[in-house]
Amino acid sequence: MFLSTIASLHIGERGIISEECLDRIPLKLLEMGCLPGTEVELLQIAPLKDPMYICVNGSHLAIRKETACQILITKI
């Protein structure tokens, strides 16, 4: 299946975090619920295209684009 990253989502789109990028997800993000196999939704992008506001596993988080680029997903 075609892999993309959280950074390529449009507002309102969702994806499933890929198992392949486990090592690239910062530990803290993992601990906050950003786990492989879970669904992530892009809720909002800040005016200058960065940071990105996501909802994953019930956590509402803002992360920078550089981090969002690291997290591989399959779009749904």
Partner 1 sequence: MSNRIKVALIGNPNTGKTSLFNQLTGLNQKVGNYPGVTVDKKQGTCKLSKNKTATITDLPGTYSINPTSLDESIVLKALMTAHRDEKPDVIVVVADIENLKRNLLLFSQIQDLEIPTVLALNMADQLQRKGISIDIPALEKELDTKVVLMSARNNEGIDDLKKIIADYESLKVHSNFNELAQKIDADYFNELSSISKEFTAYEQWMMLTKKHNSLLSAEEKEAIEPFENEIAKQKKYQHKETIYRYQKINTVLKKTYYVDASKATDLRSKLDRVFTHKIFGYVIFFGLLLLIFQSIFDWASTPMDFIDGLFADIAEFTKAQLPAGMFTDLLTDGVIPGVGGVVIFIPQIAILFLFISILEETGYMSRVVFLMDKIMRRFGMSGKSVIPLISGTACAIPAIMATRTISSWKERLITILVTPFTTCSARLPVYAILIALIIPDTKLFGFFSLQGFTLLVLYALGFAAAIIAAYVLHKTLKIKNTSFFVVEMPNYKLPSAKNVLFDVIEKTKAFVFGAGKIILAISIVLWFLASHGPSSFENAEKSVVKNVANQELPKAELSKKVASAKLENSYIGIAGKTIEPLVKPLGYDWKIGIGLISSFAAREVFIGTLATIYSVEDDGEDITTIKQKMASEINPSTSEKRFNFATGVSLLLFYAFAMQCMATLAIVKRETKSWKWPVVQLVSMGVLAYLCAFAAYQILS
The neighbour count for residue 9, using CB atoms within 10 Å, is 21
Binding to partner 1 (CB under 8 A): which residues in 31-60?
31-33, 35-36, 43-44, 46-51, 53, 57-60
Q: Which position among 1, 2, 10, 27 is part of the footprint of partner 1 (CB under 8 A)?
A: 27
Closest separation between CB of residue 24 and partner 1, Å? 10
Q: Which position among 5, 15, 67, 71 is part of the footprint of partner 1 (CB under 8 A)?
A: 67
User: CA–CA separation, 75 vs 1, rounded Å?
Assistant: 9
- DSSP for 45-63, written as a single string: E-TTS-SEEEEETTEEEEE
Proportion of the chain in helix, strand, coil states, percent, rounded to 5: 25, 35, 40
Residues that bind partner 1 (CB under 8 A): 22-23, 25-33, 35-36, 43-44, 46-51, 53, 57-64, 66-67
